[in-house]
Amino acid sequence: MPYDYKWYRLIEDKSLEQGDILFDFPILELEDYSELVRNPENPSTYINQYDVIVMTQSCDLVNDKISQIVLCPHLDVKQAAKVDPSFAKNNKLDEIRKGKYSHLAMLNKCDIDELPMGLRIVDFGMFLVYQRNSWRNLHQNKCHV
């Protein structure tokens, strides 16, 4: 008999833990890093929305031992195939699932009614950083692993 394990649950408070999955998370980015040298007082920036997973350890988050939160992006398998057509091949997804690519991992689908999510690919090769003190001002629903 197959075991139906509920991997995810919806979290509606402002707590943050390693493994939390956030959607449409705003990250401030620079247009051009070399502009920091030319125009350090007023560099051109923009906000990009990412689906992310929290990588910073929960103990550091709970005990306020860090000033920045490390995040990694994740994409729906269908979105990933649009970005990189090799993801559309079934064997590529199977290779990711088996751990052939050390910087990629798969997240199982989530069937919570309030936050449905298909299979997703996490890119551990791309780090995004968010200021810890800004988190307290940004409240959103999130899915927790």
What letters, b where the CB count within 10 A reaches 16 and e where it falls short, cover 19-49?
A: ebbbeebeeeeeeeeeeeeeeeeeeeeeeee
Cα separation, 77 vs 83, in Å, equals 10
Task: Report the residue count for the chain.
Answer: 145
pTM exceeds 0.85 for this model = no
Please give the average per-residue pLDDT across 70-75, as a whole number: 96
Q: Which of 8-22, 52-66, 80-94, 110-124 is the most confident on average?
A: 52-66
pLDDT for position 34: 83
Give the CB-side neighbour count of residue 139, counting CA atoms within 13 A. Answer: 6
